[in-house]
Every structure is written in structure tokens, then in C-alpha cells.
Structure 1
């Protein structure tokens, strides 16, 4: 199928700030058309997005309904397990995934971050092998961030990106060897507040954030990326089942045909960051096998998923302070070792988790201590067989690179390490015993981090440096979900405090009172969002869905 030109695409008309398809299924843009947005929201691109929604929006809603049923079952005592109906996939030793595409062969250090111009330039100059260009957890989904991020990526891929900050500083890409870009679209659960989709039955729904982000990036950049010797590569977030992976694979196959690109050109790396997905790693790889490069251990969202699914199941499923849930506790060790073993059996890269420390050049001693922890974390990952890892800041790249260089040497990966010594059962994945306490400081930290992150998110920032760590939506989810669980499981702190909504409310008041306020800040709104997602009887599946109601386009 050839790419439709603007004249061949479904006719559009402008109504105020809206662009509307004139016939059949249609997309309606409700966000304003800012400077250069027409370069991304072209008639041909909108025709492609419309076709994606026509073909796949219904299946997306089916998969989201599956998620609700699965959470209900776990909440009622039915633990996840390895599926009987897909045992033949796990037991078949012969199938393999497509593996790394051009430019993805060596992934030993990947840097993550949002797609604003400054962060993009910093990432491309960082020296990392891969840049995760994040439109999901590290991006607050304002219209300017989403379409502006697409513009930034378009310019970067064509070598046209330059940025001058408000203080007059110029940012340009200065290195010839830039990281391979792997873009992360929003997860299946997220709609788009700025684009509506009307299906053939006349129903008007929010467009899929996943299809919008993927579709615009792929449509505008696939050929340019291929011509540059790389390709259209994606990180897939929040998957919970092989059926969701199959949906993505069908989206990829259709999109390749639509643009006349060879089948299998797209490569995807799936974040295993939900508890149900940990029980279907083989199946997820299998469904995506013609487009799959690997799996990533999304550690922070994985912890959040554990809490979310087991939040009401009793005291033995309650985790201690967030800082105590490290990668060496039993359920995290089991999950990561199973991921490496599964990947390498199938020829897929295994990518390790995030190091979120932000170096402070004003405190050399504290920075040195923190960098040693980063090195120890990466040393463990490389020793366990991971082929690469994530960092959140360029200053962490040398420490991470040194540990992987020590293990890999000149090799691009260690797929030959099959980890036949690993034996992980369902009970290992659900062994949440840590033996540590909930502390008064842990409660306070969760309240403080969550409110400060939400406040920045409401102002349009999705990745925020807080107390020396880079926080994003995933870490904020841990903070608020722990508070909810501790309240509803009648937990006490190590100091003897009963954790109630009233007790947490006192901490909220202290955080707000001790915060330096500025004109136009969103701390009052952030506190209201936090109360709604952490203190109410109902548990919202994602805090960003609640917070979106408070998000304004002035951000």
C-alpha cells in the first residue's frame, strides 16, 4: 500500500481549532494548532491515524476490559500463574525473535528522558548507545509536549535540531555518533485529551494515546530512520498479556504495509513492568517475534503493579518503605533472572532497570557514595546476564558503561549466556517477604515525593529531580499506592503510629506548609489529586488518569 498524499487523503476542514475528517470514521482535533503543528498534523498523517483507529480501537478496548477482569480475579484470591493454554509456546525450544535491528546491536547503556528540545540535545550528546525518547511516564501529556515532542524528534532525526533556552543558551548536537532512538508511546490505557475519534457507529471516544504517538512518529520518520541506517524502533509500556502484544504486532504489520516498508522493519522492546506480564514473557516475545528486539525490566512500574494487584489481599502482601524494595529482594530477583533467561533462550536482548540518581557537583562525597551504589547495581545486572541497562542522567553513563564493558568487552551483548541455572516458579514471583518495617519517615517521603511530582506534572513536567532522584509517573505511583495500601491494611509505623487517612492528612499539611510557594504553583491542586488517588476508598488504576482532569493547557 502506498502512502497517500495530502490530496489523496480523506478531505478535512478547519472548524475553529479543530481539524475534522469529512466522511466515515474520523478524528477531531480539539487542541489549538500552535506554530509548526501543521508539519505533524498533516492530512496524510491524519488519514493514517484514522485508519489505525478504525482497525484497532475496538480491540484496544477489549484488551482494557481484560485487564479489569484480571485485576478483579487477583483481588479475589486467584493468583496469576503460567498459562496452561500457552504451554506449547513455552515448551517449544526452536522459535526465536527477529532480534536487534540496525543500530540496536549494542545496547549496553541506554539513557531515558522526555522529548523537549533541551533534553533531546543532552541525550543525543550523552554518549549512550540508545536514547529512550519518552512520551509516556517522563512526559506530562500537554498538547505542546506531545506534538512539540513529535516536532523535536522529527528535527533531530533529520539533523535539524537546535534550541535556544529562555536564558539565551544554545543547545546543539555536537557528536557524530548519536544514540539510536527508541521511542516510547503512551500505554494502551491512556486516551488523548486533544483528539477525539468517531467510529462508524457514530460513537465519539478519546483517541488512543498509543496509536497517536506511534502513528505520528512512524508516519513521519520511518523512511528517514531507515535511510540513516537505523529504523523505527519502539519501547512498549504497561503490557499485561500476550494478547496485548499481538495487538501491537498487528498494528506494526499493518503500518509497514501502509507505508510500503518491508515486513519486520519495526523493532519493539517490551517493558515487563506489570505482574501479569511477568507470567507471559515467552508468550509476549512469541506474539511479537517478527518485530521483537528484547525485553526490559521496568522495575519501578513492576513494584507499583505488585502493590496495585495485591493491595487488598492482606498483611503478607504489604511492602515496607519504598527505599527498602530493592532489586535484591526475593520477588525482584526472581523476576529479573527469569527475564534474562527467557530473553536469551529466544535471541532477545535483556535490558536492565533504571538508575535514577542525579549527581550533585556541590557535594562530591555524597555523589561518590551514590555512584558506588549505581556501579554495584550495574555490576549485578551485567553479572546476571543483562545485555544493557538504563540511566536517567548523562553523568551516570561512565559508571554504568564501565561495569558492562568489564563483562562484555568487545562483544555487543551476551546472548550466549542462557542462564540454565535459573529455576523460577510462580511462588518465587509472588514471594513478597522482605522483613523490613514501615517507618514514619517512609510515610512522609511518599507523601512529599508524590505531591511534589504531581505539582510539577500539572505544570507540564513529566521527569522531575526530587531529593537527588529523577522521579517520573512510575515512582509517584509507588508512593501513592503504598499510602493507600498501608491505610487500608491498618498498618502501623515502626514508631507505633497507626496509618490512617487523618494521619496522612497531617503529613500533607506539613509538606504544603514547609514548601516554598511561588505565584502560579499547583501545590493545592496536587494535594487534592493526591487525596483522591491515595486517601479515598476507591483505588484509581493510574494516578495520571485522575490528574489529567486538573491538567491545563497553560502548562
Structure 2
């Protein structure tokens, strides 16, 4: 391949890769890097500085410096874009060929095509995922299962594609510009935009995105500036790009209005990214003792007051500004072997979606095509023929900083610790092998849920937490459980790779036990990948 000046590719160029890694695309990626990477690094440094203040005892609060934005009642975000007016059911999943077809055919209104938490950033995954999206838009995608022989092809009524690039904190090590790694976020965004924006517009939609892991409105401003540059680059009208922001960090919960304001020409609303939100609470307040000690992860209910404050604030903030509010993930994976498990789990999914629709959310997420029907049924009952609940303003909501920060205590058991170890181990073994969305114990686990598991272990060790049976959580106990779980994985016949399992155990021990807390487990894990 002929590369632009000072652009280098370290990843292999396999069949058809040149269709997305075009000279135009690489030039655009270089432009994005040179224009925005310094600001990205400054904003990441600002995260680190705030973490030092939080660890020293500072508390989060709504920003005095942006009070005028919150007080101004005149501004609203742009009207919903084509394909994003009705979002009552959204399905999420990685961009492999089979998932691309199944998600688009699922009956959901939107497919979150995920290059982030449900994906492993193997070079092949990142490039071939882009190829799959282009092929889907050209309606030339199919798939034959090599084991069953089952054939998959696109139907007629397809979901709207919304792409989730990686977060600002992740690099793409296979592409360097001027000797520096490009941002993974800009790599994913830039490739999709250059290759698929006009394809989407020709089909009556547009280049739409989900933006993860942001911690401030200044990070949203950086995205907005990148969108402006991109639209100018292809001579597209301002506001062609639309983006939904996942409010999945505790600092972002205090800047929801400001984030909408920064993206207002490009905004498609906010999403309650509940699993990363819990991870963020643990991470940001990990040094603050029992005041911020969550129950074990399977015992944290969305009905807890601090979680209700978060979701109520999100709905009221969005509807005040004319923006969609999208609910959180239903992570259950149906079992075709155990009807009793299915029946109980589906009732929990129904209750969760009933709560969200009743609270005013305009739609919600599911992780599996079999859950689309129950989510749609619940939202159909509330919405009827209306496409959304934007007119429901939730003037009853009055959330304070204390409401968001008063953590509800709950059980911490030996079984909860064992489950965290087991999920972390099994997930990392799959992640290192290229699988970012993994069915474990009938739940779809992704990087966010694995982050909760390992961060809780870290917090319990470093805050001398005692289990309900009187045992103090320490590294020796975690090591004992980890050895037992490695043996259990080997014996349960799930096909785990023995060498990867050893690497996964070592990595989990490091990110869950070391005194130096890793901000994201995917950062050291990525360095172990080719």
C-alpha cells in the first residue's frame, strides 16, 4: 500500500483491507490525529489530576463555572435525525459478520455496532468490522456458519446503524502518525465516517455514533470539533453527524446538560450506561473507604436510590433539551436448555424495561435478539403510535449531588467474591483470544462488567473488607479462589485455551490485586495482543 507521509501501518494488510484503509481514509486519520491528539492527551491528564483530588477527599458537584448553561432555558439540541426518531428497542453487539446480519435483522430500531466494550481490539476485528459495515450498507453481506452450515443474509426491514468507537483513553497501536499511535476513538470514527457517511446518506440515514467513557463536557467539545472538521472535510451540512453520549462515568453525571450543550448541533441524546457507571463509582472513590463501598455486583439494583437519582436526572435533563433518553442494557442470554431460568430472567428483563418506560425513557438496550420482543412489547404499551416520550418533561425530578453520591450498602459474600474472580478470569481468557462479548452464566459479559468484577476485588482488598462469614478479603484469599476457578474452567469443557487461561489469570491478579490500580484493564491487556 502507498501510505501518506509520516503514516505507518504495523498491522497486516489482508484480503480487502485496502477497501477501507484507502489513501483518502489514511489521510483523514492523519488529519484527525494532528489536529486533536494533543488536546486528547491534555484531557486525559485532567482526568488523572481530578482522580488525585478525589482520592485526597474532594467530592464531585455540579459545576459553578457552567451554571449559566444549565440556567439558560432557551437552548435545545437538534431535532432527531432520520432513523433516530423512534428508538424504542436498541440491540448492541460487535461487528463480526454473523452479528452484523443478526443485529440488523433483529427487529430492533437501532443496532449499536460496537468497536468498544463488546469487542476485542485485535487488528483483524477493527478492520474487518469496518468492512462488514460497508458490506451491510451495500447489501452484499452474507455468512455461512462453518459448523452448522446455517446461512445468514439480510432481510428487508433493517435496524439503523449507530457506531460506538473506542474511548479517548485507548490507542490504536497498528497505525502511527508522525511516530505516535493514533487514538483508537479517532481511528474507529474516521474510518467509518470516510467510508460510510455517504453510503448512509444515500439510504436516508446518516453517520451516527455512540460516544463512550467521557468524563467531562470538555471531552464532548473535543468530539464536536472533530465532527465539525469531518463534515467540512466531505462538504456535508453541519449537524449531519449525530452522536448519543453514554453517561457511564460518575463525573459525567454532574455534567449532563453541559455535554448536551457542547454537542447540541450533533446531539442524539444520552444513554444510561449502567454497568460502566458502577465501575466508575468504584474506580473514582476506590480510596475512600466504606462510604463508597458498593454491594457485590449482582446485588446492585437499579431501584437503589443513588441509581434512581442517576436515571431520573438523565431523563429529565434530556427531555428538558429535546434529546432522547435511552435506557440501560438487559444482559441476560436466553438458555435453550433450561426454561425455568428463561422464565425467571425474562420477568426480570420485563420489570427492568417496565421501570424504564414508566420513568420516561424513550427506548432501551438488549444484548440478544431473543430479548427484542419483550423490550418492544413493554415500550409499545407505553408509547403506542408515538415514536418517543420527548414531551414528558419530568418536572418532578430534583436531584442533588448528595443523591448521586449516597451509596446504598449491601451484601458482600464469599460467593460474590468467587463470582467476580470467575467472571474476570473467563472474560479475560476470551478477550485475549479475540472475543469481547462473552456469555458467562447466562449473562452477556463485556469489558464494563469485567471491570466491575476486578475493581470490586481491588477495592475489597485495599479497604480490608470483611465478608459476611467473617473472612477478611486479602490477596491470599483471592489467589486461593483464582487457583480453584482456573481448575473449574479447565474441567467444565468450555474450550478455554490453556495458555490463554494462564495469561488471563496472571492479568486478573495484576489488575485486581496490585497496589497500583490500572485505570482500565483493557490497556495492559491490549499490550499483550499482537
TM-score normalised by structure 2 residue count = 0.98
1:470 alignment partner, SS class: strand
Map Cα deviations across residues 333-385 of structure 1 (whole Å, 9 max, x no partner). Answer: 10000000000000000000000000112111210111000000000000000
| 1:225 equivalenced with 2:205 (yes/no) | no
1:103 to 64, 76, 83: 83
1:42: Cα distance to partner? 0.8
Between stretches 296-305 and 63-72, larger displacement belongs to 63-72
In 2, are the aligned partners of 1:131 and 1:180 still within 8 Å (CA)?
yes
1:347 aligned counterpart, secondary structure = coil
Aligned to 1:336: 311
User: Which sections of structure 2, spanning at least 5 residues, go unmatched?
Assistant: none
Find the counterpart in structure 2 of residue 9 from structure 1: none
Match of 1:514, SS? helix
Distance in 1 (CA, whole Å) between partners of 2:394 and 2:331 is: 27
- Structure-2 separation of matches of 1:174 and 1:149: 16
Contact kept? 1:162, 1:170, Cα under 8 Å: no
Shift of 1:168: 5.9
Task: Judge conservation of contact 2:429–2:496 (CA < 8 Å) in 1.
Answer: no
1:450 to 424, 446, 455: 424
Secondary structure at the counterpart of residue 74 of structure 2: coil
The SS at the match of 1:260 is coil
1:507 paired to 2:481: yes
Is the contact between residue 124 and residue 173 of structure 1 (CA under 8 Å) also seen in structure 2? Answer: no
The equivalent position to 1:75 in structure 2, one of 46, 51, 55, is 55
Secondary structure in 2 aligned to 1:47? helix
Deviation of 1:163 after TM superposition, in Å, equals 1.4
For 1:170 and 1:205, the matched residues in 2 are separated by 44
Count the aligned residue pairs.
526
8 Å Cα contact 1:121-1:171 kept in structure 2? no
User: Is the Cα–Cα contact under 8 Å of residues 490 and 496 in structure 2 kept in the other structure?
Assistant: no
SS of the residue aligned with 2:90?
Answer: strand
How far 1:519 sits from its partner (Å)? 7.7
- Partner of 2:490: helix, strand, or coil? coil
Residues 447-492 of structure 1: per-residue CA shift (max 9 Å, x gap): 0000000000000000000000000000000000000000000001
Correspondence for 2:460 among 476, 481, 486: 486
Counterpart position of 1:131: 111
Secondary structure, counterpart of 1:192 in structure 2: strand
Aligned residue runs from structure 1 range 59-70, under 5 A? 59-70=39-50
Deviations 1:149-203, CA, capped at 9 Å, x for gaps? 00000100111111123226354334211000000000000001211121xxxxx
Which of 83, 93, 100 is the aligned partner of 2:73?
93
| Deviation (angstroms), 1:44 | 1.1
19, 30, 49: which one pairs with 1:50?
30
Q: Take 2:458 and 2:191, find their aligned partners in 1: how far apart are those partners?
A: 37
Question: What displacement does 1:20 show?
Answer: 4.1
Alpha-carbon contact 2:424-2:453 (below 8 Å) kept: yes
Structure 1 length normalisation: TM-score?
0.93
Secondary structure of the residue aligned to 2:28 is: helix
RMSD: 1.1
Q: Structure 1 residue 324: deviation in Å? A: 1.1
Work out whether residues 94 and 437 of structure 2, in 8 Å CA contact, stay in contact via their aligned partners in 1: yes
- Misfit runs of 4+, over 3 Å: 170-174, 517-521
| Bigger helix share | 2
